[in-house]
Amino acid sequence: MSTNTVAPPRLSHLQAAIRVVLALVAAGIVIGVAWAFLAPPINLVIALTKAGDRVRGYVGDESDLLFLGAFVMTGLLFVMAVTAAVAAWQWRPHRGPMMVGALSVGSLAAAGAAAGVGAVVARWRHGVVDVAAAPVTPEHRVFYVHEAPAVFFGHGPFQIAASLIVPAGVAALVYAICALSTKRDDLGGWPPVEMAYLVAPADRPATGPAPTAVADPPSDPWPPLPK
C-alpha cells in the first residue's frame, strides 16, 4: 500500500490557481519595465533629399536591433515561464491539471502585460520619431535620432499571437516534464489517491488453474501374441 504524507493545504485549488495567475501578471509587469531599460534603442537617420523629400533609414547595421529588442523580450519571458513552472511544481498539495491551466493562463497574461508595459515605458524613455517635424534643412540635410525598440518580431496578428503564446507553452511543457518524473498517479498532491498493488503472500502459493491429471495410457486393443 502506497501512502502520501502531504499535508492538507490551507488554500483550495482554485485559490492557489488565482494566486499563481496574479503572481505571473505581476512578474510580467516587472519584466516589461526591465525590458524597457535593457533593450537598446534603434538609431535612425532622417535625411532631406535634393527633391525636398524626407526619408528615414537605419544607421549601419542598426536594422539588426529591430530583432534584438523582441529577442530580449522573448528571452525574459522564457526564463519567467521555466522558473514559474518549477516553482509551481514545488507547491506539492496543488499539483494537478488546475495548476497547469493557471500556469498557461498566467504566462499568457504575463506576456501581454510585459509587452504592454514595456512598450509604454520604452516610448516614454525614447519618445516618438516624427519625420515631418525633424529639423532638416537644405543646409543641414541629415538628422540623427533614435526610437524605442520593437516588442514583437513583426506587426502581423499571427506574429504577435505566437510571441504571446510561447511562454504559456514553455510553462506547460516544463510542468509536464516534472509530472513525468513522479511515479504516483496523483502526482503526490492533495487529496491523496491510495494505490494498492496485488502481491501474493509468501506463505500462500499463487492461485492458478488446477493441474490436469494425466490420463492412463490407452490399453492395447490387441492381446499379446503367444510365444
What are the distances in angstroms from CA 213 to CA 205, 210, 216, 219?
19, 9, 9, 18
> Tell me, what's the pLDDT at 76?
95
> Tell me, what's the pLDDT at 37?
92
Residues with Cβ within 8 Å of residue 39, at least 6 apart in sequence: 68, 69, 72, 73, 118, 122, 149
**pLDDT tens digit string along 19-31?**
999 999 999 999 9
pTM of the model: 0.71
Residues with Cβ within 8 Å of residue 79, at least 6 apart in sequence: none
CB 28 within 8 A of CB 112: yes
Q: CA 45, 47, 53 angle in degrees (round to 5)?
A: 140
Q: Which residue has the higher pLDDT, 89 or 51?
A: 89
- Average pLDDT of the residues in 195-220: 51
**pLDDT tens digit string along 142-183?**
777 777 888 888 788 898 898 899 999 999 999 888 888 777
